[in-house]
Amino acid sequence: MRTLQMMFWRFLPPFVADPKTFKRSTINAKGETLLHGDFWKDSFLHRRCLVPIDSFVEWHAKGKNKLPWLFGMADDNIFALGGIWRHWRSPDGKSQMDTFAIVTTDSNELVLDKTGHDRMPVIIKQQDYQRWLEPGDEQRPPIDLIRPFDSEKMKAWRVDQRINSVKNNGPELCEPKEDEGQMGMFDD
């Protein structure tokens, strides 16, 4: 049975005593390392999730300047990112929460062209949702679903730099934007 559930976006392994003192960045998990070592492996094999979204942001950086780009589906439909999750409980048992990380892969041509990034989130095709979610055979996990998404089915647009702060909220942050005078310095 599928459920929609809020989770904390930062994967916390069981050995973490206090999330505030845990310094490792665990919002993303590299797809090619999921089966290496014990950090991600158990969750990849047993606790995969889908993260429904309508777009994601990546930054194009040259020097000190950073420009945000939003990426979505060309048909404007929502889509799902591949994730892994784990239930975390504090050693004293007073705090607990479900935590997750987004699985990443190599960038497709669109993300690479707009941002220069060599990574992007894994986008799971709708026909593969069930396969991603079901535990399946541990000897044959859905590692083949960890791949760049087809660029031709996506679109990208520049947005306001204010999108980077949680203090800012509103639909205008996702509207297309061009900064005259700045765009020239990002042209190749």
Domain segments of the chain as ranges = 8-168
Average pLDDT for runs of 10 along the chain of length 188 = 91 93 96 94 96 96 89 98 96 94 98 96 97 88 97 97 90 82 41
Q: Which two tokens stand for residue 111?
A: 């993300």
pLDDT of residue 1: 74
- Among all chains, which residue has been given the structure tokens 């947005």? 159
Q: How far apart are CA 138 and CA 29, in angstroms?
A: 19
Rounded to whole angstroms, how far apart are CA atoms 121 and 56?
A: 9
pLDDT at 166: 86
pLDDT of residue 178: 74
Please give the torsion angle defined by the CA atoms of residues 121, 122, 125 and 127, in that order, rounded to the nearest 10 degrees.
-140
For residues 163 and 175, is the Cβ–Cβ distance under 8 A? no
Looking at 3.40.50.300, 3.40.50.12780, 3.30.2290.10, 3.90.1680.10, the CATH number of the domain 8-168 comes to 3.90.1680.10
Pairing between strand 96-106 and 65-73?
A: unpaired
Question: Is residue 93 packed enough to be buried (19+ CB in 10 Å), middle (13-18) or exposed (0-12)?
Answer: exposed
In whole angstroms, give the CA distance from residue 8 to residue 71.
23
- Amino acid 79: pLDDT: 98
